[in-house]
A and B are shown apart, each in its own frame.
Chain A
Amino acid sequence: MYEIVAFYLFSALTIGLFLVTVMSKNILYSMTSLASGMVLISGFFFILGADFLGVVQLIVYVGAIMALYSFAMMFFDATRDIKEKNTNNTLVFLLGGLTALVLVLMFAAPIYSENIQALYPMHEGVGNAQDVGIVLFTKYLVPFEVAALMLLVAMIAGIILAGKKMDESLTEDMSADDEIVRETEIEKDDK
């Protein structure tokens, strides 16, 4: 009973919030509803008894969307509405709708045809984190390590891209400093 109420509550809230994310013209509204929607998704994990994944969802998305906010801060004026440039509304609607339809069909098909069975059911008496760890380091070891490697590559690339001229200031005009030094030297000489 608890779970059904919680499920419908979370579902309604999540769908509503993500609708705001898509529909709103205000960057602050869309970002905030995206963040809170992601936080609410962790509620589904808690309902399913996957506490560990729920908390991971919480921590990961809180951090990820915080980074997204910093981009929003740099690109937009957060207090004003944004004029979107949609050249062809029907095309956007069609493509978006089709993608959504395909996704729903993809995920609904196995549920409709037969009941989903857990390939790696949770062990009784073993914690959630341990279960995830066991699966990650046996069955999914290769994808896990590949993902780690890709993240490492991305990190190194980011450091190299951003770090090229780190010792030089981009905003400061050094010639101005030299002028000031020269002027003070001239003044000293005058005295």
Chain B
Amino acid sequence: MEAVNILPEVTWVGVLIKAILILAIISALAGFGTFVERKVLAFMQRRLGPMHVGPYGLLQIAADGIKLFTKEDIIPQNANKLIFMIAPIITAATAFIALSAVPVFPDFTIPEFVPLLGGVFVPSIASDLNIGILFVLGMMAAGLYGPLLAGMSQANKWGIIGAARTAVQFLSYEVVTGLSILAPIMLVGSLSFVDFNDYQQDGVMSWMIWQQPVAFVLFLIAGFAETNRTPFDLLEHEAEVVSGYATEYSGMRWGMFFIGEYANMITVSIIAAIVFLGGYDAASAFGWLFIMLKIAFFFFLMLWVRASWPHIRPDQLMWLCWKVLMPLAVINILVTAIVMMV
């Protein structure tokens, strides 16, 4: 992106390294996320979860990975082959592109004793766009084209239902996401994640969540819908539509949908942590640790909710988004604006 050129200390090598790091770490984390999800759900349901592969079931990730990579890649006969093959890539790619604009750590300098790279200044984001928050939300929205195209191209009725639900879900939550995040944007007066982080640096009481509790809850709910997490897990609700948009997929193409979904979960966790929970504290030495804990908490919250709440119906989702959450978000914006004016 062009904004990169503005900062003098960002070189294209640095951007490249960061892009590769994001790809490697997040895909590994996505795999690990499935394991954590199975374990957490198992403990909440008083089971043990995966136990047989490796110590404490830890090597289950490797087993799953081998299975996904070696499985036959089946393309149905009547499907639109090109679109069918592209769809999972859209989900995975947009999820990673969205991650390129979120900061996770404070800017830091690599210590001198590290060979080759010592003393290099490292900014926190791969590309610090000054409209970062809109870019990330837009990219995550574009990610829903994956399920939509997958469902429409596979010549399968469950797939079509999954695709229709994708459209319904997208049109419902998107308004709420935008409106809920608008109130914090008004307070900060910027669309850059770094400004959001800097706005909340005066201790716990300066966190956005105390000023904008309504926006926080609305954003979380919309975030759950955005990542297809359980209360809004309409797209591939096993009990209703077999597997929805993913019915005909197998092997790595199926896996890419889930890498994308877990990457999106991490992105939503990062956004929530930075916008509402203070982000990384650049001044303190443990800022990087705290933000990891915050992100982990939001990730855990998603699993927790999945274990506690049942699915809802598509019409309930639309009712919730358009008749409850959207008016609430608009009222929240109005109140914020009035308070700011006075």
Contacts and interface: CB of A to CB of B under 8 A. Distances in A.
A92 interface: no
Interface in B148-170: 148-149, 152-153, 155, 160, 163-164, 167-168, 170
Interface string B284-326: 0000000000000000000000000000000000000000000
Interface stretch (A59-67, A134-142, A180-188): A59-67
B37 interface: no
B144 interface: yes
A28 B149 contact: yes
Contacts of B138: 55, 58-59, 62
A128 B171 contact: no
A78 B167 contact: no
A169 to B, nearest CB: 12
Contact of B80 (A28, A62, A72, A73): A28
Contact of A39 (B3, B131, B137, B142): B142
Given A63-B141, A128-B130, A69 B1 contact: no
Given A26-B80, A67-B171, A79-B79, A62 B153 contact: no
Contacts, number: 90
Interface in A37-66: 39, 46-47, 49, 51-52, 55-56, 58-59, 62-63, 66
A79 B153 contact: yes
Interface size on B, as a range, is 35 or more
A117 interface: no
A70 interface: yes
B83 A47 contact: no
B134 interface: yes
Interface residues of A, number: 29
Contacts of A29: 80, 82-83
B198 interface: no
B196 to A, nearest CB: 14
B2 A47 contact: yes
B129 interface: yes
Contacts of B168: 70
A129 interface: yes
B131 A70 contact: no
A35 B131 contact: no
B190 interface: yes
A41 to B, nearest CB: 13
Contacts of B2: 46-47, 49, 51
A143 interface: no
Contact residues of A: prevailing secondary structure = helix
A90 to B, nearest CB: 31
Contacts of A39: 142
Nearest to B195: A127
Contacts of B22: none
Contacts of B129: 51
Interface string A61-96: 011001101101100001100000000000000000
Contact of B137 (A32, A52, A59, A128): A59
Most buried by A among B138, B139, B141: B138
A28 B87 CA distance: 12
A55 B141 contact: no
A51 B131 contact: yes
B233 to A, nearest CB: 19
B191 interface: yes
A25 B163 CA distance: 21
B145 A79 contact: no
Contacts of B190: 127
A134 to B, nearest CB: 14
19 contacts: A28-B80, A28-B83, A28-B153, A29-B80, A46-B1, A46-B2, A47-B2, A49-B2, A51-B2, A52-B134, A52-B191, A55-B131, A58-B135, A62-B141, A66-B144, A66-B148, A69-B148, A70-B164, A70-B171
Interface of B: 1-3, 5, 78-80, 82-83, 86, 129-131, 134-135, 137-139, 141-142, 144-145, 148-149, 152-153, 155, 160, 163-164, 167-168, 170-171, 174, 178, 190-191
Given A73-B167, A78-B80, A79-B80, 14 more contacts: A2-B5, A28-B80, A28-B153, A32-B83, A32-B145, A32-B149, A46-B2, A51-B3, A51-B130, A51-B131, A55-B135, A62-B145, A66-B171, A73-B164
Complex A-B, nearest 3 residue pairs according to Cβ-Cβ distance, in ascending order: A58-B138, A70-B167, A59-B138
